[in-house]
Amino acid sequence: MLDTRVSRRAMLMGTGAAAAWLASPARALLQAVGKVAVPGFVDALIARMTPEEKAGQLQIMPSAWGGGAALSLNPPGNGSDFDQQVNEARQGQLTGVFNGNGARMARLLQNAAVKESRMKIPMIFAADIIHGHRTIFPVPLAEVASFEPDLARRTAEAAAFEASGAGIDWTFSPMVDVARDQRWGRGVEGGGEDPMLGSLFAAARVRGFQGADLKSPEHMLACIKHFAAYGAAESGLDYDVANMSMRRLHEVYLPPYKAGFDAGALSAMASFNEINGIPSTGNHWLMTDLLRGQWGFQGFVVSDYTGDEEMIAGGYAKDGRDAARIAFLAGVDMSMASGLYRKFLPDLVRSGEVPQAKLDESVRRVLALKAMLGLFDDPFRRIDEKREAARSLLPKTRALAREAGRKSIVLLKNDGDLLPLPRSGKRIALIGPFASGAHDLVGPWVVYGDDAKAVDLATGVRAAVRDPSSVIVAEGSKVEEPLPGGIEQAVAAARDADIVLLAIGEHTGMSGEAQSRTEIVVPEPQQKLAEAVAAVGKPVVVVLKHGRALALEGAVADAQAILATWFLGTETGNAIADVLFGAYGPSGRLPASFPWKSGQQPYYYAHKPTGRPNPPGELQPYKAHFRGIPNSARYPFGHGLTYGKIDYSGLTLSAPALPMNGRIEVAATIINRGTRAAEEVAQLYIHDRVASVTRPVRELKAFRKIALAPGQSQVVRFTLSAADLAFYGLQDRPVVEPGTFDVWIAPSAEAEGVHGTFDVVA
Ligand code: NOJ
């Protein structure tokens, strides 16, 4: 229940805050939603269509071509074969297919649709182009570590270039679900724990996929998913419920979706989960009142894979017909994979349970988008077998993958400046299940990429050192099982070496859909390997492979240097070697906090204060912390070291107070006292000390990535307006209240950096 009491203070401030909000850039963005142009011929077509043909335009199915990639990435389908799908295209029973097999397949289906069907409406081809098509970029979570949204725009654009060459018009991406529980496996596909950072990446990816004109045969339609709050699954269990206050939904979970729509995304995917008892697929408030009513979304909504049908098992629909009716009336325009819309919508319209006008409205949206994608002008505009091959894995795209890879790596620890390593004069033992081999490189959500086309760590390291024979590889352990004799072999390799690179962590199947973990640790056999290798006494660099933030323990946590390298895609080995040997100084920052222990989940930096916080220092009794560990992260959101020595000093404020309609400038000096160049990500956090609703201990409001040569200093300046300090108030709208705010410019969410205070005044 929402507390609708109106505090005197909130009332007093209501006018000023509302004025600030109305004048704010955020408000301006609210109005800049993507526009859909409906060409005149669309209504003429609709007027000639049968209810069955209309329902067909609202049904997408996984491609059945040759067993199809689609089927291996989702639960088993409904047994349809490709010939049957071609027939369905002829009969106007299919709006399109997804995760198909390239231009050749698309041509067969498109020919059936535009040459042999009664209405000659072109099909749309969709796919999960999550972080690349043939050239695979870092997993989305990794790329967020770059704190460089424009990098994500560029990789999305490159992915669109390759994929649209292969006949794909529509990507089921970006996935923008905020994930604050690292047990959940799908955080790997998203933007991390912070709504502000996640929003910037959501918008950037939409711009990259869609470009300036959807007709472009080098771009494709983006799809914001999974709407909404899929990442808030209880206890991190995939598909489970999200229960939360409206305030949390609005402040934390909704902003990245909204940012994606504001950037122009014209399709959305309903999430599998329920929110407060209502499955998203059947949630009229979410899909219609909020999305279309308040946000002005003009595109179309597709269910997730059998999401409509799953409302039966979820206890919200009694059978398939009921599920189709509920989903459609809620505002889900298109059904994915279940076949329920084409099966039941015609009859639901005849019986009057679904208004004919509503059916026409959804068909209009889908046809308008097909027109915007240029499919009515030329249904084959993205279908070209030659172009498909010519665009694949181009050197410039691989170069971008390498750039994105190295920018995604986060240096968590570097005791005694062990890194960067010299290129010669040292023998290196490269140990661990991820040391070599064409596996676990591209990551868990890849339809068309291939580990065999990717560079493994051993190849990258050997290419970077002067003498490749100075690198000895030992597997040491399987990922989740011991390797007989592996530890002995690894220990021997470590003894013979000057430095150990320990490539350990999670394999591809440990994150992604339906891959929630109870313990977010390095699996036990690898932990044992790490302990045995550490006991040899050589300097150890841990090179982590992971799809989530991990709780590091024992010898892994105690290693002299630790690199978070996620799944980096096609250029994995080269990107990691670039950082290991200093061709590139690490610049990534954590998009999700690494906790001390798994049991802290969900742990996120922007948690609320409690009445009994533990003061800095020793753990005290009767204070908020788990037994034996502080209520903090081992490596918090925003953390990441460089090869320089970075100092923050001299926070200045342009004024002691910020008027409701004014601005304040916050600045600090950042210096690199080291001997190597560094890229620092200066982060601005605020905290509202006393409010009518308790506020997080810190909230990220801005950041800037700056390059500093040795000895160089720079003043970073940020401008805050009152609207930047708004929160979801007691009257269900953004409010800013007067009072004292803390402000930090800091190298992470839990580092002190430099601190000041200012007052917001009426
Ligand atoms: C289910 C996933 O939740 C969604 O993200 C994906 O786009 C569909 N399957 C289609 O593969």
Q: Which residue stretches of 294-339 are H helix? A: 310-313, 320-330
- Write out pLDDT tens, residues 9-32: 332 233 333 333 333 444 444 433
pTM of the model: 0.95
- Predicted confidence at residue 449, as pLDDT, reads 93
Nearest CA to ligand 1 atom 9: 305
Does residue 252 lie in a domain region? yes
From atom 4 of ligand 1, which residue's Cα is the shortest distance away? 304
Pocket flag, ligand 1, residue 253 (CB < 6 Å)? no
| 430 and 511 co-located in one domain | yes
Q: Which residues of the chain have pLDDT under 70?
A: 1-33, 66-72, 76-79
Domain match, 363 and 472 both: no
Q: Of 389, 411, 436, which residue constitutes the final position of a domain?
A: 389
Given 571, 600, 629, the domain boundary residue is: 600
Q: Report in angstroms the alpha-carbon separations of 585 from 456, 674, 707, 746.
A: 20, 12, 10, 19
pLDDT at 78 (0 to 100): 62
Question: How many Cβ atoms from other residues are within 10 Å of residue 610's Cβ?
Answer: 13
Distance 647 CA to ligand 1 centre (A): 44
- Look at residue 81 in the predicted model and tell me its pLDDT: 87
Looking at the structure, tell me whether residues 589 and 712 fall in a common domain: no
Domain-embedded: residue 24? no
The residue contributing the CA closest to ligand 1 atom 3 is 304
Distance 189 CA to ligand 1 centre (A): 11
> Mutate which of 129, 172, 224 to test ligand 1's pocket (most atoms within 8 Å of Cβ)?
172
Same domain membership, residue 550 and residue 466: yes
* pLDDT tens profile 628-653: 999 999 999 999 999 999 999 999 99
Q: Is residue 106 part of a domain?
A: no
In order of 242, 261, 269, 580, the CA distances from 229 in angstroms are 7, 15, 12, 37
Decide: 578 and 147 in contact? Cβ < 8 Å.
no
Separation of CA 702 and ligand 1 centre (Å): 32
Give the distance (Å) from ligand 1 centre to CA of residue 549. Answer: 22
Q: Is residue 20 part of a domain?
A: no
> What CATH number has the domain bearing residue 473?
3.40.50.1700
pLDDT tens for each residue of 363-388 = 999 999 999 999 999 999 999 999 99
Does residue 172 line the site of ligand 1, with CB under 6 A? yes
Let me know: does 186 contact 237? Beta carbons within 8 Å: no
**Which of 125, 189, 269 maximizes ligand 1 atoms within 8 Å of its Cβ, making it the mutation to test the pocket?**
269
Tokens of 680: 């620092």
Q: Give yes or no for residue 71 CB within 6 A of ligand 1.
A: no
Cβ of 305 closer than 6 Å to ligand 1, yes or no, is: yes
State pLDDT tens for residues 412-438.
999 999 999 999 999 999 999 999 999
Residue 135 DSSP class = S
Ligand 1 near 73 CB (within 6 A):
yes
Dist. CA 221 → ligand 1 center (Å): 16
Q: Are residues 536 and 473 in the same domain?
A: yes
**Same domain, yes or no, for 428 and 377?**
no
CATH of the domain at 705: 2.60.40.10
Q: Is residue 647 assigned to a domain? A: yes
Same domain, 384 and 403: no
Say whether both 573 and 453 belong to one domain.
yes
Residues 369 and 409 both lie in one domain: no
Q: Decide if 499 is inside a domain.
A: yes
CATH of residue 349's domain is 3.20.20.300
* Cβ contact 336:296 at 8 Å: no
Domain range holding 726? 643-761
Residue 29: its pLDDT value, please?
Answer: 41
Residue 2 located in a structural domain: no
Q: Is residue 329 part of a domain?
A: yes
Domain tally, the chain: 3
Whether residue 474 sits in one domain with residue 361: no
Q: Are residues 543 and 682 in the same domain?
A: no
